[in-house]
Amino acid sequence: MKKTKLIFIYALVLFILCSCGHAPSQDITESATLSSSQTSSSAKESENLLTNESATQNKITSKNTTDPQSAEGYCFVTIDIRNIKNNINILKSEKKPFVTSDGYILKETKVKISDGDTALDILKKACKENKCTDNCKYCENGIQLESTYTADYDSYYIEGIHQIYGMDCGSMSGWMFSVNGTLSNEAVSDCTVKSGDRIDFAYSCNMGADIG
Ligand SMILES: [Zn+2]
């Protein structure tokens, strides 16, 4: 019985092998070739991807050291008092020594971002690390900055930069800021910055109507 069964199975296997002929084995070979070429091409692709990635990384690294416009991990800060220059006749006279000749306290400057940095954190760094465009005698230890906490809003606002305070240039004057060209209505200490952001702190003599 057992022998018969074995023979039967053997015959069956033979039959299957014969009837299928070479075709399936070719199929297998082809698909094997295909899959191996696919593998090698996808390996090549991922290799290319890696090369591209490292090229990009190299680009970024080299950009950080050579190109001031490189954005990764940095934002760009400007402190602008051009409106004061346009309204110099109404500026409190004791504040005139703090007005720089080019209308900027700080021209666009790259500032490194740490995790969770707000616009205020960035401004603090920018002021600490830089001097005004005139490199005046008041800027020996960086640009003066004063921000004040308001419990009502649970946030900070900018009182003065480079000794120029709100209301120093008319009753509607004060510091405002914009992010990527849009005037922010968020508190400076609530606005989280991201890589590449352009943060402009500008003094307005007309509640923001003269900014932008
Ligand atoms: Zn100065």
Residue 6 pLDDT grade (very low, low, confident, very high; cuts 50, 70, 90): very low
Q: Report the separation in Å between the CA atom of 45 and the middle of ligand 1, taken as the mean of its atom positions.
A: 54
Contact at 8 Å (CB) between 118 and 145? Answer: no
Q: Report the separation in Å between the CA atom of 80 and the middle of ligand 1, taken as the mean of its atom positions.
A: 13
pLDDT at 30 over 70: no
Q: What angle do CA 19, 23, 28 make, to 5 degrees?
A: 125
Q: Which residue has the tokens 């190299």?
A: 58
Q: Report the separation in Å between the CA atom of 144 and the middle of ligand 1, taken as the mean of its atom positions.
A: 8
- Report the half-sphere exposure of 146 (CA within 13 A, side-chain side): 8
For residues 196 and 111, what is the distance between their CA atoms, to the nearest angstrom? 10
In this predicted model, what pLDDT tens digit does every residue of 170-202 receive, in sequence order? 999 999 999 999 999 899 999 999 999 999 999
Q: Report the separation in Å between the CA atom of 181 and the middle of ligand 1, taken as the mean of its atom positions.
A: 25
Q: Report the separation in Å between the CA atom of 67 and the middle of ligand 1, taken as the mean of its atom positions.
A: 26
For residues 147 and 165, what is the distance between their CA atoms, to the nearest angstrom? 10
Q: Report the separation in Å between the CA atom of 164 and the middle of ligand 1, taken as the mean of its atom positions.
A: 11
Specify the pairing of strand 155-161 against strand 74-80.
Answer: unpaired
Residue 123 pLDDT grade (very low, low, confident, very high; cuts 50, 70, 90): very high
Which of these, 173, 171, 170, 168, lies nearest to 202 by C-alpha position? 173
Residue 212 pLDDT grade (very low, low, confident, very high; cuts 50, 70, 90): confident
For residues 6 and 89, what is the distance between their CA atoms, to the nearest angstrom? 112
Residue 22 pLDDT grade (very low, low, confident, very high; cuts 50, 70, 90): very low
Residue with more model confidence, 37 or 150? 150
Q: Report the separation in Å between the CA atom of 157 and the middle of ligand 1, taken as the mean of its atom positions.
A: 21
Q: Report the separation in Å between the CA atom of 158 and the middle of ligand 1, taken as the mean of its atom positions.
A: 17
